[in-house]
Amino acid sequence: MSAEQVRYLLPEDAIPTHWVNLLPDLPGDPLPPLNPGTMQPAGPDDLTPIFPMSLIGQEVSMDAEVEIPEPVREAYALWRPSPLYRARRLERELDTPARIYYKYEGVSPAGSHKPNSAVAQAYANREAGIERLVTETGAGQWGSALAFACGLFGLECLVYMVGASYDQKPYRRAMMETWGASVIRSPSDTTEAGRSQASHPTGSLGIAISEAVEVAAGDANANYALGSVLNHVCLHQTVIGQEAIAQLELAGDVPDVVVGCVGGGSNFAGLAFPFVREVLRGNAKMRFVAAEPAACPTLTRGAYRYDFGDTVGLTPLMPMYTLGHDFVPPPVHAGGLRYHGDAPMLCGLVKHGVVEPRAYKQNETFAAAVRFARAEGIVPGPEPAHAIRATFEEAEAAREAGEERVILLGLSGHGHFDMSAYQAYLAGELEDPEFSERDMQEALERLPDAPAIA
Ligand SMILES: Cc1ncc(COP(=O)(O)O)c(C=O)c1O
């Protein structure tokens, strides 16, 4: 039986006790965020209007490990440790000598990896005496996760949902409301930021972030919660990779390549960073592949510059690959990947050649997702479908090289709320929008006048 094992499961007491902080191991000196008014390094005072002190501490911590509070571990036990699968049927379908494993985060209540950080953030804010969290959501995954987490810790939750997703996914909204959250379509007329962007009715993550930050900054009892990009969000997600290391040990394998999708970088960071740390410390050798949409190709086509995290320019500037803070990506169905920037930690790793980015078009990712679903059963979210597409390339390369490579794929969530996208794909109605050179030139011209990154 063991030779044909498919699921590698860990007991509840194997939920990690610490998060892995990659910041002290990253190549080069950490680049600080900048105050949007002065363009000087931002300090804790710039962040206290919207974040609790404990999360600000995690954002800048140089400790290699950060203890997970016990109430957060108890909440994690509702779905963690998540399963690691050996994709035996997919391997046969692809006729590859590669051994493909996937770490599946779709078992969480919200259906993705996002609750790993939502629970940690809701707990930290409750401990700081905050009564309400305000946030944005793209695909609806982060909003659902925060709605669920706020319910666990007795907080109110207000979600600005990107217009395109609000229209495509009415049941995501119903799910958030079921957990007690209020949901507003973005851009909205409830904020100045929203009113200023009324000419972009499909919205974007950048616009929704501006709306949420504006509301949180104006209410002393409210804070803002971000579902990706920031160091502390990447930190919270590292339970994924730590569990995967233990599960691969059960399987007797070590990855040659780790593959994930990137919207703001949090699920990729969560899976990859515990492995990246071993590579940076010289204890292991492996490759890392980050998959993104050709319609919003931040890591493959963006400029490595300081830019705002939101459209209107309310947030500190972060050093990252960016398509320009006011770039509104076309409304592709991988709503969670429609973000103009990416996590500074991940961008640094791309800059240093540790992580290789690749961009894929919408139809080829859905083709891969359908093939995956027919082989493995799970219907993937359109976001991890990009990582599945990259995994197919890796499996093919292993076949061409005649090598038994080990591939670890991050399957960050299921696609049960994305069936209208599958329907459109199966009917041959999906478009393949791509980012043009003109888009890039226009975006570069609008980047803020911030110091260059050395
Ligand atoms: C299932 C899923 N995967 C990936 C992402 C992309 O976000 P990140 O890069 O922060 O993991 C999202 C975002 O909403 C998502 O819902």
Do 276 and 136 sit in the same domain of this protein?
no
Pocket test for ligand 1, best of 121, 165, 175, 261 (most atoms within 8 A of CB): 261
Q: How many helices (H) and strands (E) does the chain have?
A: 19, 15
SS3 426: helix
**Cα of 254 to ligand 1 centre, how many Å?**
25
The predicted structure's pLDDT at residue 44:
86
What's the one-letter identity of residue 115?
P
Find out whether the beta carbon of 383 lies less than 6 Å from any atom of ligand 1.
Answer: yes
Residue 206 lies in a domain: yes
CB atoms within 10 A of CB 9: 12
SS3 367: helix
Residue 415 lies in a domain: yes
Do 88 and 209 sit in the same domain of this protein?
no
- Record the tokens describing residue 309, joined without a space: 């995290």
Sign of the alpha-carbon dihedral angle for 31, 37, 42, 46:
negative
Domain boundary among 170, 205, 228: 228
Beta bridge partners of 66: 19
318: domain CATH number? 3.40.50.1100
**Cα of 264 to ligand 1 centre, how many Å?**
7
Residue 269 lies in a domain: yes
* 20-24, 53-57, 418-422, 444-448: least confidently modelled range: 444-448
φ, ψ (nearest 5 deg) of residue 359: -115, 140
Average pLDDT, the chain: 95
- Record the tokens describing residue 114, joined without a space: 């996002």
Give the whole-angstrom CA distance, residue 142 versus residue 112.
8
Q: Quick check: pTM over 0.95?
A: yes
Find out whether the beta carbon of 141 lies less than 6 Å from any atom of ligand 1.
Answer: yes
Listed residue (434, 412, 430, 414) closest to 422, CA to CA = 430
What is the biggest distance separating any 2 CA atoms in the chain, rounded to whole angstroms? 63
**Cα of 197 to ligand 1 centre, how many Å?**
24
Find out whether the beta carbon of 379 lies less than 6 Å from any atom of ligand 1.
Answer: no
Give the whole-angstrom CA distance, residue 155 versus residue 316.
26
φ, ψ (nearest 5 deg) of residue 265: 110, 0
Q: How many domains does the chain have?
A: 2
The predicted structure's pLDDT at residue 74:
98
Give the whole-angstrom CA distance, residue 245 versus residue 254.
8
Give the whole-angstrom CA distance, residue 156 versus residue 66.
27
Do 96 and 123 sit in the same domain of this protein?
no
The predicted structure's pLDDT at residue 3:
66
Q: 372 is in which domain, residue-wise?
A: 2-14+80-111+232-445
- What confidence category does residue 138 fall into, taking pLDDT thresholds of 50, 70 and 90? confident
Do 312 and 435 sit in the same domain of this protein?
yes
Residue 37 lies in a domain: no
Give how far Cα 254 sits from Cα of 31, 192, 259, 282, Å.
32, 51, 14, 15
What is the Cα 104 distance to its own chain's centre?
14
Give the whole-angstrom CA distance, residue 117 versus residue 261.
17
The predicted structure's pLDDT at residue 403:
97
Find out whether the beta carbon of 336 lies less than 6 Å from any atom of ligand 1.
Answer: yes
Do 296 and 421 sit in the same domain of this protein?
yes
Find out whether the beta carbon of 263 lies less than 6 Å from any atom of ligand 1.
Answer: yes
Residue 397: its H or E element: helix 382-401
Residue 39 lies in a domain: no
Do 273 and 327 sit in the same domain of this protein?
yes
Give the whole-angstrom CA distance, residue 202 versus residue 264.
19
Residue 330 lies in a domain: yes
Residue 197: its H or E element: none
Find out whether the beta carbon of 115 lies less than 6 Å from any atom of ligand 1.
Answer: no
Residue 454 lies in a domain: no
Do 245 and 276 sit in the same domain of this protein?
yes
- Record the tokens describing residue 177, joined without a space: 């409301």
Whether the pLDDT of residue 91 is over 80: the answer is yes
Query: What are the tens digits of pLDDT across the range 247-283?
Result: 999 999 999 999 999 999 999 999 999 999 999 999 9
The predicted structure's pLDDT at residue 330:
84
Find out whether the beta carbon of 142 lies less than 6 Å from any atom of ligand 1.
Answer: yes
Do 221 and 243 sit in the same domain of this protein?
no
Pocket test for ligand 1, best of 107, 236, 240, 337 (most atoms within 8 A of CB): 337
**Cα of 278 to ligand 1 centre, how many Å?**
24
Residue nearest ligand 1's atom 4 by CA: 383
Contact 186, 208 (CB under 8 A): yes
Query: What are the tens digits of pLDDT across the range 158-217?
Result: 999 999 889 988 999 999 999 999 999 999 999 999 999 999 999 988 899 999 999 999
**Cα of 401 to ligand 1 centre, how many Å?**
32
Domain boundary among 212, 228, 244: 228
What is the Cα 331 distance to its own chain's centre?
18
What is the Cα 408 distance to its own chain's centre?
17
Residue nearest ligand 1's atom 6 by CA: 263
Contact 144, 336 (CB under 8 A): no
Whether the pLDDT of residue 228 is over 70: the answer is yes
Look at the chain and count its residues: 454
Do 223 and 239 sit in the same domain of this protein?
no
Residue with the two structure tokens 């666990």: 152
Sort 99 into a burial class: Cβ within 10 Å, 0-12 / 13-18 / 19+.
buried
Residue 450 lies in a domain: no
Do 249 and 120 sit in the same domain of this protein?
no
Angle, CA of 440, 444 and 447, to the nearest 5°? 140
Give the whole-angstrom CA distance, residue 81 versus residue 104.
10
Rounded to the nearest 10 degrees, the angle between the axes of helix 170-178 and helix 141-152 is 10
More confident residue, 322 or 444: 322
What contacts 229, CB < 8 A, 6 or more positions away? 264, 265, 266, 309, 318, 339, 341, 342, 343, 344
Examine residue 344 and say whether the peptide bond preceding it is cis (omega within 30 degrees of 0): no
Do 303 and 380 sit in the same domain of this protein?
yes
Instruction: Tell me the H-state helices in 237-361.
Output: 239-251, 266-280, 298-301, 344-351
More confident residue, 31 or 116: 116
Domain boundary among 206, 228, 250: 228
Do 177 and 312 sit in the same domain of this protein?
no
Pocket test for ligand 1, best of 102, 103, 107, 112 (most atoms within 8 A of CB): 112
The predicted structure's pLDDT at residue 98:
98
